[in-house]
């Protein structure tokens, strides 16, 4: 199903102070139809300031918000929406969207940085990131146009520090799409922990909303887990061999990522111990 972004929705991402901006296309449309400026003023009295309307009507000024919208990607195919699960998961993980709409992502893992850049390039091919490096961490920052488009598509799931939530739109997406989100979250915030005998899969998160989302997806996939809370952080652990195996079959970490290889080693260790036990008998 194709999704299209309209200027009225894009303008709303700027907040209440910018509600008049959404009428800019209407003013231009009325002018092209030959409606006089006096008539247009009456139509938008109390909505658009007179001086602003004068500049718009006479095409002496184009709102910055409209210029941003004009340069944004506004149409997305069903296939592109389907591919956004991984991107949204990365933003909810080690990324974010600041209040002005800039999308950022920071990680020490080259694999995850390259994947984020590849997803952005595929979905927003015209946008180029600003890259910087601090010690071992690579930091990517993208145009606020992308953040505002993502808000239009999925709601304000991130809009500043400690604001990440799972929106109704994200919750309403198909299970396969939500699994992509959870996989990306596990890549960023999860780990496969090897013990002397066996191990477990862990997910650590301070957002209750994101933790509950992960729990719900695990439930829907029939993967059992235990959750503990310590110093404001939630820890979701998958402990049994059967559940880790099911996690590996349905969700897992991303293909080619070191954490996926580690989970395979943990699962193989169970098989090894069982073979040893059977041999001893």
**Segment 134-152, tens digit of pLDDT:** 888 999 999 999 999 999 9
Q: Does residue 280 have a pLDDT over 90?
A: no
- Report residue 275's pLDDT band, with 50, 70 and 90 as the boundaries: very low
17-45: per-residue pLDDT in tens?
Answer: 677 898 999 999 999 999 999 999 999 99
pLDDT at 225: 98
Instruction: Give the Å distances, CA to CA, from 76 to 1, 148, 152.
Output: 9, 14, 12
What average pLDDT score do residues 235-243 get?
96
What does the alpha-carbon distance between residue 127 and residue 251 come to, in Å, rounded to a whole number?
A: 30
Where are the extended beta strands (E) located within 2-128?
Answer: 3-4, 75-76, 95-97, 103-107
Give me 195's structure tokens.
């013990």
- Give residue-wise pLDDT tens across range 143-193: 999 999 999 999 999 999 899 999 999 999 999 999 999 999 999 999 999
Torsion of CA 200, 269, 110, 146, to 10 degrees: -40
Coil/strand/helix, residue 201: strand
Residue 33: is it exposed, middle or buried by C-beta count within 10 angstroms (0-12/13-18/19+)? exposed
CA 236/CA 202 separation, integer angstroms? 6
* Residue 90 contacts residue 119 (beta carbons within 8 Å): yes
pLDDT of 272 higher than 60: no
Proportion of the chain above pLDDT 70, given as a percent: 95
Q: How confident is the model at residue 281 (pLDDT cuts 50, 70, 90)?
A: very low
Can you give the pLDDT at residue 1? 67
Average predicted confidence (pLDDT) for the chain = 93
pTM above 0.85, yes or no: yes
């Amino acid at each position: 199903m194709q999704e299209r972004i309209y200027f009225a929705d894009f303008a709303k991402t700027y907040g209440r102070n910018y509600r008049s901006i959404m009428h800019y296309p209407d003013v231009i449309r009325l002018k092209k139809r030959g409606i006089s400026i006096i008539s247009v003023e009456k139509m938008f009295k109390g909505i658009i300031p007179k001086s602003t309307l004068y500049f718009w009507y006479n095409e002496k000024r184009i709102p910055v918000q409209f210029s941003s919208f004009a340069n944004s990607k506004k149409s997305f195919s069903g296939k592109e929406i389907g591919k956004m699960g991984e991107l949204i998961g990365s933003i909810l993980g080690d990324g974010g969207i600041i209040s002005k709409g800039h999308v950022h992502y920071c990680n020490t893992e080259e694999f995850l940085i390259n994947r984020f850049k590849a997803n952005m390039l595929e979905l927003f091919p015209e946008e180029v990131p600003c890259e910087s490096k601090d010690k071992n961490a690579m930091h990517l920052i993208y145009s606020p146009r992308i953040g505002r488009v993502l808000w239009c598509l999925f709601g304000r799931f991130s809009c500043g520090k400690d604001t990440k939530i799972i929106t109704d739109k994200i919750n309403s997406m198909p299970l396969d799409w939500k699994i992509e989100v959870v996989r990306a979250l596990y890549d960023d915030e999860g780990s496969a922990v090897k013990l002397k005998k066996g191990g477990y899969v862990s997910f650590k998160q301070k957002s209750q909303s994101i933790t509950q989302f992960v729990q719900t997806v695990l439930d829907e996939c029939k993967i059992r887990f235990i959750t503990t809370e310590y110093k404001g952080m939630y820890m979701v652990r998958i402990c049994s061999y059967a559940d880790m195996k099911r996690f590996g079959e349905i969700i897992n970490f991303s293909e080619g990522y070191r954490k996926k290889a580690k989970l395979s080693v943990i699962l193989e260790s169970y098989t090894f111990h069982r073979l040893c036990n059977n041999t001893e008998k």
